[in-house]
A and B are shown apart, each in its own frame.
Chain A
Amino acid sequence: MDDIRILTPTDLGTLIVELRTSGFRVMGPTRRGDAIVTAQIRSVSDLPQGVGDTQEPAEYRLHDRDDGAYFGFAAPAQSTKPVFFPAEEVVWRGRRDHERGGHFTVERDTVDAAPIALLGVRSCDLRAVQIHDQVLSARHFRDAHYTARRDGTVVIAVACSHPAATCFCASLGTGPRPAAIDPQTGQPSYDLLLTEVIDDAGHRFVAEIGTDAGRELADAVEAAKGTETDRAKAIEITDAAAARQTRAIDRDNVHGVLKASAESTRWEDVASRCLACTNCTMVCPTCFCTTVSDVSDLAGESAERHRVWDSCFSADFSYIHGGPTRESTTARYRQWITHKLSSWQDQFGMLGCVGCGRCIAWCPAGIDITEEAAALGRMSVLGSPASAAMT
């Protein structure tokens, strides 16, 4: 939709008020201690204005910025994943019913929450939401809670102008400027796309309209009309952001490389560094594995079934009768990266990685998925001798 608007910082505040007045729970970036996290935004003052970040393998630091930017940072510590897919939730509750001969009465937990407005979501994380939509909501058995939470979401995306050293979305085609259309569904990716511009002409947001709902929001805050020149400026900013990215994954070949690397000697090397701590999977915006665990009280009167995030890096994850099928960290790392960069494609028709770089920054051992993929590529080309069978 060729409709460009210009929002001032004051308009951004009005936009938040407008969303909240309309009944949305606004979720966006905010500073909490040593990091920027995704949390509820009650007013424009909750946004991390004037805060920047640097991210390196196993290192994340905040610093002050002198330009007053509201979105002058890269991927927050956690993505929007917990907004629609919380770390722990009750699936059902059961109570012993003595009037019915001690049988259990089961109550299903239902989601009855306000619709979500994602404010300031980056292209990588928005793509991750689209991937989750496919995994959790578009297949024969839909995740009821996820689908209910996603219902009526408004997306105010922000094009990324400040990628970190850990970012590689450009190489995967998932950013820094989001695609206007979700390639899987054909639906608009966002209602509004903001690009923050700070130059001699002032501090403003170039707003591109994605939907009628987005246009109504722009109208509601009485955003000024923009021009194609403004859009060109916005594209210039994201082009520069893409050009600054130093890490990359070879999108065309990675699927085949992983398929050919099942017996690579690289797995022992990476396993010697991997802590099997699960951090990469917990911060990954697309990792969706969960387990269910039941809790009961001492008297056996009530019970609950909880669904909790789980990780393919824990021994219990693959535990079946007789023991875990992936006993070694070697096997677990291979499973994770192969799923992300190869078998996800076979399963869902897309890669499971969006290039946000969180698994690099938040790995205490600084393991770099782009470096591991590149090393596997080099070794498979060289035709490395097959390693011994892994268990």
Chain B
Amino acid sequence: MTDAAIETATRPKLAVWKFASCDGCQLSLLNCEDELLSIAEAVHIAYFPEATRAVVEGPYELSLVEGSITTPEDVRRIHEIRAQSGTLVTIGACATAGGIQALRNWADVEEYRSIVYAHPEYLSTLDTSTPIASHVDVDYELRGCPVDKGQLVEVLAAFLGGRKPRIPTYSVCVECKLKGNVCVPIASGQPCLGPVTQAGCGALCPSYGRGCYGCFGPQDSANTDSLTRQLTELGMNSDDIVRVYRTFNAGAPEFSAASEAVAVASSTVPAGGES
């Protein structure tokens, strides 16, 4: 082997996989402009169809998995990928919570399949959109819609250094306060999911005077019952509250339960009606 070939062989092999998703998280990796060359020097990018047609056979030391499981074929393929991967990291709201497509979990898939597609019989799909961890063991879940590129680089640096990634699981409120942002719901009355949402985006929306949309999923101690009361106080009706919990992380257990609690409470028939 040449020196270059030996050098390539000693770097850990990285694979990037896609399931049901918009590719935005993979693009976050390509958007690491300043760090991209360092990443390419630190790992051997062996499988990454979004970036290159060249394919190097597995097994892979590190797999990054984007997207959720929505078809029987997905189920088969994720087990194959797990078997070929040393460390498996899921990236983004689809892979960690089922994504926006997890709205199907509350819908009748048969019904809209027949409405949307001319030949629904060609489709092979599941009734649900589920995170990767519902099917195989996952070593680390990186949140976000899309993932934050700084956090993605941190996860790669931590993998290479054999240490734990520095990814906080506290609320977006911490990021607002560290940045010196003025609290949006308190100073302007706009609803905000920040108190129940995990940090990581750098409090992007509140930094521009908008409430948080919950792109990074529930924080480690989310109290959605209390936030629901606060959203109601700020003037949101039940339908709107259900919708804010059912976006990119609709399938995250805490947000899913919160939306169902609001939906059930608002559909409860007053005393004297059906029991």
Decide yes or no whether A241 CB sits under 8 A from chain B.
no
Contact digits for A269-280, partner B, Cβ 8 Å, 1 yes 0 no = 000111111110
Contact of A316 among B157, B169, B185 (CB under 8 A): B169
A298 with B178, Cβ < 8 A, contacts A61-B187, A279-B173, A293-B166 known: no
Would A278 and B226 count as touching, CB distance under 8 A? Answer: no
Decide yes or no whether B275 CB sits under 8 A from chain A.
no
Would B170 and A278 count as touching, CB distance under 8 A? Answer: yes
Would A294 and B166 count as touching, CB distance under 8 A? Answer: yes
Would B161 and A300 count as touching, CB distance under 8 A? Answer: yes
Contact of B209 among A33, A274, A300, A308 (CB under 8 A): A33
Residues of chain B from 146 to 200 with CB closer than 8 A to chain A in the complex: 153-154, 156-157, 160-161, 166, 168-171, 173-174, 177-180, 182-183, 185-189, 192, 194-196
Residues of B near A311 (CB, < 8 A) are 170, 174
Closest to A332 in B: B221
Decide yes or no whether A32 CB sits under 8 A from chain B.
yes
Decide yes or no whether B230 CB sits under 8 A from chain A.
yes
- How far is it, in angstroms, between the C-alpha of A227 and the C-alpha of B153 when the chains are bound? 65
Counting contact residues on chain B (CB < 8 A from A), the size range is: 35 or more
Would A298 and B169 count as touching, CB distance under 8 A? Answer: no
Residues of A near B189 (CB, < 8 A) are 59
Contact of B171 among A278, A297, A300 (CB under 8 A): A278
Would B187 and A277 count as touching, CB distance under 8 A? Answer: no
Would B226 and A283 count as touching, CB distance under 8 A? Answer: no
Would B180 and A314 count as touching, CB distance under 8 A? Answer: no
CB<8 Å pairs between A and B, sample of 13: A58-B233, A77-B187, A88-B178, A273-B223, A276-B219, A278-B170, A279-B195, A282-B173, A282-B177, A298-B42, A314-B168, A314-B220, A316-B170
Q: A58-B186, A315-B221 are in contact. List 15 more A-B contacts (CB 8 A).
A: A59-B189, A273-B226, A275-B227, A276-B171, A277-B171, A298-B153, A299-B41, A308-B178, A311-B174, A315-B220, A364-B173, A364-B183, A364-B185, A364-B194, A365-B230
Binding site for A on B (CB under 8 A): 35, 38-39, 41-42, 153-154, 156-157, 160-161, 166, 168-171, 173-174, 177-180, 182-183, 185-189, 192, 194-196, 209, 219-223, 225-227, 229-230, 233
Binding site for B on A (CB under 8 A): 32-35, 37, 58-61, 77-78, 82, 87-88, 272-279, 282-283, 293-300, 308-309, 311, 313-316, 329, 332, 361-362, 364-366
